[in-house]
Amino acid sequence: MNESNIRQLIDGVKSHKMSRKDFIRLMVGVGLTAPIASQLLTHAGVAQAAGKPDYAPTKRGGGGALKLLWWQGATLLNPHFAVGTKDMEGSRIFYEPLAAYDSDGGLVPILAAEIPSVANGGVAADGKSVTWKLKKGVKWHDGKPFSADDVVFTAAYAANPATSSVSIGSYKDRKFIKVDDYTVRVEFPEPTPFWADPYCGIYGCIIPKHLFEAFAGEKSREAPVNLAPVGTGPYKFVEFKPGDMVKGAINMDYHEDNRPHFDTIEMKGGGDAPSAARAVLQTGEYDYAWNLQVEDEVLKRFEQGGKGALHLSWGGNLEFIQLNQTDPLKEVDGERSSLKAPHPILTDPKVRDALALLVDKDSMQKFIYGRTARATSNYENGPAQFASKNTKSEFDIEKAKKLLDEAGWKPGADGIRMKDGKPLKLQFQTSINGPRQKCQQIIKGACQKAGVDIDLKQVTSSVFFSSDPGNDDIYIKFYCDMQMYTTTQQQPDPERFMDQYVSTNAGSKANKWQGRNTVRYVNPEYDRLYALAQHELDPFKRAALYIQMNDMVCNSHCIIPILHRPMVSGIASNLRVTPTGWDNDLAILKDWYRVA
């Protein structure tokens, strides 16, 4: 079946000549997976019908305490300031978006009454507007009514440059109009295929106007509610110790029947991934453990304890290396790693190509991560229609040596390469984590054989992923030559994932290092393709644009993809959850429950 045939079938679904379910069944029959087929419809503007979750409780509460382990503890509880996943997750206990993403990448209504579509009139056929109908009767945790005023205010708050929100890209340059108390229309200046960017998923959480209005803009960081949230979620705020613990209690006024199930919730931070895995899988002390980046052999031993099991939620998350395109040692206008100071070594493409040849990602996958990762040469790994087939990985020390020779880096007496009297020495940082330290050692060993001196640096996770702009060891400042971590793609659409290489998104002192382009990659052609993809309504042409962008950044080796990683969670045997690789772990927390 060719592209033209598939387009005709999609048109059939749009015109109601074929059901969404029948389309997906047909696509599965010709070799696609169900999630991929679903995504083809979603990107063509055909909304997914909301399904009923498998939820057993027949009353609100009675589930006792839910104990979660997030070994990187949340440091703030404002979803629009959440730089790291830990802060997004902590915020998600209390705040909700209009819609969340399920495991298939489909939208699930949360504060929305329904998911907009072309069929129900919510999505404009020209792609220039989307209209959201809101649930009625929803209350903020302080008893105030939730309405369209809060939804429109959230957009204005996030879009204000003075607020310095991480979500500004989802809200700037768009109009947000209150139609009535329970209807909001979003108007886009151009046709916009990713109409679900505002108000959905990790950047979509709605905040209360009556509590944040006085702290918009320059005063945004002064709001007391940044640390004591008042949301609409299934649990109300009780206590917060930054970096350590978040506590909540049941919201008896929650807007869905028989939810939530648990009476209290505790998210414990700190420690490390192995201890978190052990506490759920082996000892049963906790119910859920997040992001178990632990050697697979260790996880298998813990699972033998019988208290819980591992769960893999595949999305687009990537463990990768960044090669700084700016000089981390030179200070310009009060900041290091400035766009005004190019990196003296890593701006040479031959050096970057050589370093890419020195990363043995297959060994990392086989001997460290096992079933919990897949070696990859792509930045964008899912959904499948966005995954490029044009990139490749190669581990070859001899080829790396030849490239370094060509770049003018010649071996010195001690084996370390020199050029213009300076050694080829690079500082390589990552967070403290068993698998990451082993990967660092593998890379350092290969680099030594090629004559590259690698200085390894490890930073405590709570510091490395901190949102504190006053800390020089946070990854978003990138005050070293190389760094490794997992970048999370928490939406099935790649628009908010691939914006990390748009030049105007470069992190800087001016934007409090909230710009998502941490590597400071600048390429006008990339910027042009990204702008085209933002307004291309044809799903096939749009996918091709993102594949070009992926190839551009990957083949430049400003980044080195290593492993496509699922969300690896430890779940107690009696806990029933709704995990998804396309949103926060706690995105659909309202549907979690315990069986007898």
353-403: per-residue pLDDT in tens?
A: 999 999 999 999 999 999 999 999 999 998 888 999 999 999 999 999 999
Provide the residue count of the chain: 596
Report the alpha-carbon angle 354-516-209, nearest 5: 170
Contact 341, 326 (CB under 8 A): yes
Residue 542, SS3? Answer: helix
In the predicted structure, residue 43 carries a pLDDT above the cut 80: no
Could you give the CA distance from residue 27 to residue 38 in angstroms, rounded to a whole number? 9
Q: Is the confidence at residue 481, as pLDDT, over 90?
A: yes
Q: Model confidence over 284-294: pLDDT tens digits?
A: 999 999 989 89
Residues 331 and 385 both lie in one domain: yes
- Which region, left, alpha or beta, applies to residue 498 given φ > 0 means left and ψ of -120 to 50 means alpha? alpha
Q: What is the mean pLDDT of the chain?
A: 91
Cα R_g (the chain), whole angstroms: 24
Of residues 483 and 472, more confidently modeled = 483
Q: What is the CATH number of the domain that holds 253?
A: 3.40.190.10
| Residue 54 within any structural domain of the chain | no
Q: What pLDDT digit, counting tens, does each position of 163-201 carry?
A: 989 899 899 999 999 999 999 999 999 999 999 999 999
Domain end point (choices 204, 225, 246): 225
57 found inside a domain: no
pLDDT at 58: 96
Dihedral angle at the C-alpha atoms of 510, 512, 517, 519, nearest 10 degrees? 90
pLDDT value of position 18: 61
98, 132 Cβ separation under 8 angstroms: yes
200 within domain boundaries: yes
For 125, half-sphere exposure in the C-beta direction (CA atoms, 13 angstrom radius) is 4
> How confident is the model over 300-337, as pLDDT tens digits?
999 999 999 999 999 999 999 999 999 999 999 889 99
**Nearest alpha-carbon partner for 72 in 334, 459, 396:** 459
Strands (E), 188-255: 235-241, 245-250
Residue 581 clears pLDDT 70, i.e. is over it: yes
Task: Identify residue 495 by its one-letter amino acid code.
Answer: E
Residue 518 — pLDDT band, cuts 50, 70, 90? very high
Same domain, 494 and 400: yes
Q: What is the pLDDT of residue 131?
A: 98
**pLDDT over 70, % of the chain:** 91
- For residue 341, the model assigns a pLDDT of 94
pLDDT of residue 239: 98
Signed CA dihedral, 369, 374, 380, 386: sign only: negative
pLDDT at 31: 47
pLDDT bin (cut points 50, 70, 90) of residue 50 is very low
The span from the CA of 202 to the CA of 583, in Å, is 6
pLDDT over 60 (residue 29): no
Residues 6+ apart with CB under 8 A from 380: 316, 386, 387, 388, 489, 494, 497, 498, 546, 547, 549, 550
Assess whether 131 and 38 both reside in one domain: no
Please work out, in degrees rounded to the nearest 5, the angle formed at the alpha carbon of residue 116 by the alpha carbons of 110 and 117.
145
In three-state secondary structure terms, 526 is helix
Residue 428 has which token pair?
Answer: 């390589």
**Residue 50, in any domain of the structure:** no
3-state class (DSSP) for residue 251: coil
340: domain CATH number? 3.10.105.10
Same domain, 516 and 586: no
Answer yes or no: do 86 and 104 share one domain: no
Q: Which residue has the higher pLDDT, 181 or 22?
A: 181
Read off the tokens for 284.
């049963």
Give the model's pLDDT for residue 514.
75
pLDDT above 60: residue 35: no
- Regarding whether 173 and 137 lie in a shared domain, the answer is yes
CATH number at 182 reads 3.90.76.10
**pLDDT (tens digit per residue) in 538-565:** 989 999 999 999 999 999 999 999 999 9
Residues 498 and 594 in one domain: no
By DSSP bridging, strand 482-487 and strand 318-323 are antiparallel
Banded model confidence at residue 49, pLDDT cuts 50, 70, 90: very low
Residue whose token pair is 């110790």: 241
What pLDDT shows up at residue 21? Answer: 58
The answer on 208 and 240 residing in a single domain is no
With vertex at residue 477, the alpha carbon angle to CA 474 and CA 481, rounded to the nearest 5 degrees, is 100
CA distance 72 to 85: 9
Residue 449 lies in a domain: yes
Q: Does 26 map to a domain?
A: yes
Contact 230, 237 (CB under 8 A): yes
Each residue's pLDDT tens digit, 489-503 = 888 999 989 999 999
Residues 378 and 305 in one domain: no
pLDDT at 117 over 60: yes
Boundary (domain end) residue, out of 174, 195, 225: 225
Q: Last residue of some domain: 181, 201, 225? A: 225
Q: Which residue has the tokens 């107690």?
A: 572
Residues 545, 529 contacting (CB under 8 angstroms): yes
Both 365 and 495 in a single domain?
Answer: yes
**Residue 384, pLDDT score:** 85
Q: Which residues, 6 or more positions from 295, have their beta carbon under 8 angstroms from its beta carbon?
A: 368, 369, 370, 434, 435, 438
pLDDT at 197: 92
What is the average pLDDT across 252-260? 97
Give percent above pLDDT 90 in the chain.
78
Average pLDDT over residues 219-241: 96
* Owning domain of residue 31: 3-43
- Angle ∠(48,51,54) on CA atoms, nearest 5: 150
67 within domain boundaries: yes
Mean pLDDT, rounded, for 132-153: 98
Q: How many domains does the chain divide into?
A: 4
Are 292 and 94 contacting, i.e. CB atoms less than 8 angstroms apart?
A: no
Neighbouring CB atoms inside 10 A of 22's CB total: 13
- Statement to judge: residues 336 and 417 lie in one domain: yes
Assess whether 295 and 332 both reside in one domain. Answer: no
Q: How far is CA 240 from CA 248, 254, 266, in A?
A: 9, 21, 10
Residue 190 located in a structural domain: yes
DSSP 299: H
Q: What mean pLDDT is predicted for residues 213-235?
A: 95
- Terminal-residue alpha carbon distance, the chain: 48
